[in-house]
Amino acid sequence: MGEPGVLTGEHGVLAGAHGVQTDGRSTVTGSTATTGSPRGTGLRLEDVVVEYPGLRSAPPTVAVAGASLTVAPGEVVALLGASGCGKSSLLRAVAGLEPVASGHVAWDGADMDGVPVHERGFGLMFQEGQLFAHLDVARNVEYGLRMQRVPRAARRARVEELLEVVGLPGSGRRAVATMSGGERQRVALARALAPQPQLLLLDEPLSALDRGLRERLAVDLRAALVATGTTALFVTHDHDEAFTVADRVAVMARGHLLQVAAPHDLWSAPASREVAEFLGYQAFLPGVDGPRAVGPSGLVLVGVEGAAASGTVVSSVFRRGRTEVTVDADLGDGMRRYSVVGTAPGAGSTSSEVSYAAGDVVGIAVDATQTVPLLGA
Ligand SMILES: Nc1ncnc2c1ncn2[C@@H]1O[C@H](COP(=O)(O)OP(=O)(O)OP(=O)(O)O)[C@@H](O)[C@H]1O
């Protein structure tokens, strides 16, 4: 998609409007000309509970069990969690598509309780984009603007600007049926951004795409949200996507928000073992100053002799220039299975030095640089 650039004209100068760092990760205190509400307090969720009625006399399913969260104007927050944790239910409750059993959803201090979906001024974007197949790109993108009765010339200018922002400049006349999945998602994003929603809600917008495309589009999605100053709440089960797109990531499990923090803070200071495990920390060992979580590359293969710990090889793969061995071991944290990495083989090393057979006994050491303190239990 390239550089989202600076939008000018009726929408003002937008890029960097948050006093952002080079990747656009911002302090989110600023405001921009494209968001509906340049000032204000943004989205506030207070103890939100979402329930689905049980069948016959069964108790209701509590999908969201009291979630509190704020999204500041211009901020992008990801709801990250495993399938079934309640993230879509929470997003739908914000949109007004699902009733809130208790608690509050407020925008700029105004309670949204009872406000119908179309009167909230929120934009929605879903997995498949849901474009109108019989309309060309420009007609799709300007759809919301027509609904708002924006005059034709302003609509055209806005469409052009947004196609630029999503990396499809000049493609307004293309038929959406001739576009790839990734291009369609870009069009869907432009369409969602066009009416300048005060809040954009995105439910797994990239998950229908293949991995490589998803990674590229995640970067572009962030760039587009930052360039347009859009406040966004974004649902995903993909860690990399959440870390790439969001200013802050809210980790969700069993209907609860376990921790809400900026990507780096989340990774370097997981609030609990549950969060750390979810992020991919694989071992939990005592350290000098208390317990430490060991990252995905934090256990290293060493000779058995003199090693602090040892285990039995379950399987071994050689990829990205190093050996990764799944080892069965008892490190005292109840995990049992660990991924232990070898160093890159030097010139002249033999295949037997980089491959391990099931049943081999190997030594395990901890690379202290790949550990972080574990704050909570
Ligand atoms: N319409 C519904 N009726 C009854 N139960 C529902 C309904 N929708 C969701 N649930 C249940 O609520 C819980 C949360 O579902 P939700 O779709 O919010 O999770 P999710 O984290 O978005 O999952 P996924 O990533 O698989 O979409 C799950 O236990 C699910 O089975």
For the chain, list the domains and their CATH numbers: 43-268 (3.40.50.300), 280-345+356-373 (no CATH)
Residue 149 tokens, joined = 């009765």
What count of other Cβ atoms lies within 10 Å of the Cβ of residue 324? Answer: 18
Distance 90 CA to ligand 1 centre (A): 10
For position 345, what pLDDT does the model report? 54
Residue 42 tokens, joined = 């943004």
Ligand 1 atom closest to Cα of 88? 22
For position 18, what pLDDT does the model report? 30
Global pTM?
A: 0.84
Nearest residue to 17 via CA among 3, 29, 4, 2:
29
Pocket test for ligand 1, best of 48, 50, 52, 80 (most atoms within 8 A of CB): 52
Ligand 1 atom closest to Cα of 53? 4
Check residue 64 and report its DSSP letter. Answer: E
Ligand 1 atom closest to Cα of 89? 18
Nearest CA to ligand 1 atom 11: 63
Residue 220 tokens, joined = 């572009």
Ligand 1 atom closest to Cα of 90? 18
For position 377, what pLDDT does the model report? 62
For position 148, what pLDDT does the model report? 87
- Residue count of the chain: 377
The C-alpha atoms of residue 22 and residue 27 are separated, in whole angstroms, by 12
Residues in contact with 338: Cβ distance below 8 Å, sequence separation at least 6, in sequence order: 282, 283, 299, 311, 326, 327, 329, 331, 364
Nearest CA to ligand 1 atom 7: 52
Residue 254 tokens, joined = 């069993």
The C-alpha atoms of residue 342 and residue 365 are separated, in whole angstroms, by 11
What are the pocket residues of ligand 1 if the criterion is a CB atom closer than 6 Å to any ligand atom?
Answer: 52, 61, 63, 81, 83-89, 237
What pairing do the DSSP bridges indicate for beta strands 102-107 and 110-111?
A: antiparallel
| Residue whose pair of structure tokens reads 């302090």 in the numeric block | 27
pLDDT in tens, the chain (377 residues): 333 322 222 222 222 223 233 344 433 333 333 444 446 899 999 999 999 998 888 999 999 999 999 999 999 999 999 999 999 999 999 999 999 999 999 999 999 998 999 899 999 988 766 788 889 999 999 998 998 899 999 999 999 999 988 889 999 999 998 998 888 988 998 999 999 899 999 999 888 778 888 888 899 899 989 998 999 999 999 999 999 999 999 999 999 999 999 999 999 999 999 999 999 999 999 988 889 999 999 999 998 888 889 999 999 998 878 889 999 999 999 999 999 998 655 555 555 556 788 999 999 999 999 999 998 76
Q: Are 205 and 246 in contact (CB under 8 A)?
A: no
Angle between helices 152-165 and 181-193 (to 10 degrees): 130
137: left (phi over 0), alpha (psi -120 to 50) or beta: alpha
Q: Are 57 and 279 in contact (CB under 8 A)?
A: no
DSSP labels for 183-249? HHHHHHHHHHHTT--SEEEEESTTTTS-HHHHHHHHHHHHHHHHHTT--EEEEES-HHHHHHH-SEE
Distance 100 CA to ligand 1 centre (A): 15
Task: Cite the DSSP H helix spans in 299-356.
Answer: 351-354
For position 352, what pLDDT does the model report? 56
For position 12, what pLDDT does the model report? 26
Pocket test for ligand 1, best of 48, 56, 64, 87 (most atoms within 8 A of CB): 87
